[in-house]
Amino acid sequence: MLRRTLTLSLILTITVFLGLAYGQRHCCGGHQGGPSGMMLMECGKKIGLEEAQLDKIKSIHLSSQKQIIKLRADLEIAQLELKELMHSDSPVKSKVNRKIDELSQLKAKIHKNEAGTKIDVMSTLTAEQLERFQEYRMKRMKEARRGHRCCKDRPGCATPCMGMGKMEGTRGGHRWPQQPHGGHGPGLGTE
């Protein structure tokens, strides 16, 4: 009984860590070094993209997102099925291994989809546009490292920036609403 409990705990721990690592990898765009479709949409005019290029990038991105949504749903279902197999009274090693292989194949399909999408997006850019995009991306990365990255250039963004930014009554470049206690910030402090 102790051996079974330890085995179950180990496999569930591995599954959770794989899920967390997978989730962290997908929190931001542009994680494989190529142009992110969404980032290109943000800076398209700045780097000289034509309307036809923007339309093609939108189409590539939309098609990719549809496929990835389906693959992630299949991945979540397979993870639940693995959990179900592991919680059975007597887990069958061969069934568990097959389910783990299925999970690995789904993750590989997601990675291949993302890589293919980046390659397709890159093929829509001229050499000059790609160079401008890389300069734009490097500038944003430097700003992020300095803590000044702000979403102020993104239309409709109301999220306060996380960083030091300008400090006179602001947090990261965004002014917090005036608080009843007369100060700035999210309302923490003495009232």
Whether residue 173 is contained in a domain is answered as: no
Position 43 confidence tier, pLDDT thresholds 50, 70, 90:
confident
Q: pLDDT value at position 144?
A: 82
Range of the domain at 64: 34-125
Q: Which of 39, 63, 62, 40 is nearest to 53 (CA)?
A: 40
Distance CA 19, CA 14 (A): 9
Whether residue 52 is contained in a domain is answered as: yes
CA 118 remoteness from chain centre: 14
The DSSP-derived string for 109-152 is HHHHHHHHHHHHHHHTS-HHHHHHHHHHHHHHHHHHHHT---GG
Whether residue 62 is contained in a domain is answered as: yes
Q: pLDDT value at position 69?
A: 97
Whether residue 93 is contained in a domain is answered as: yes
Q: Are 113 and 64 in contact (CB under 8 A)?
A: yes
Mean pLDDT of 23-40: 49
Report the predicted TM-score, pTM, of the whole model to 2 decimal places: 0.56
Q: pLDDT value at position 151?
A: 53
* Radius of gyration of the chain from its Cα atoms, rounded to whole angstroms: 23
Q: Which of 93, 92, 87, 107 is nearest to 18 (CA)?
A: 107
Phi and psi of 108, rounded to 5°?
A: -65, -40
Whether residue 112 is contained in a domain is answered as: yes
- Residues 95-122: pLDDT tens digits? 999 999 999 999 999 999 999 999 999 8
Whether residue 6 is contained in a domain is answered as: no
- Residues 135-185: pLDDT tens digits? 888 888 888 887 654 555 555 554 444 444 444 444 444 444 444 444 444
Whether residue 69 is contained in a domain is answered as: yes
Q: pLDDT value at position 46?
A: 81
- Residues 62-101: pLDDT tens digits? 999 999 999 999 999 999 999 999 999 999 999 999 999 9
SS (H, E, C) 153-183: HCCCCCCCCCCCCCCCCEECCEECCCCCCCC
How many domains, the chain? Answer: 1
Residue 175, beta-bridge partner list: 170
pLDDT value at 28 more than 50 = no
pLDDT value at 19 more than 90 = no
| Residue 88, domain CATH | 1.20.120
Whether residue 26 is contained in a domain is answered as: no
Q: pLDDT value at position 185?
A: 46
- State which amino acid sits at residue 39: M
Position 189 confidence tier, pLDDT thresholds 50, 70, 90:
very low
Task: Compute the residue count for the chain.
Answer: 191
121, burial (CB in 10 Å: exposed 0-12, middle 13-18, buried 19+) = buried
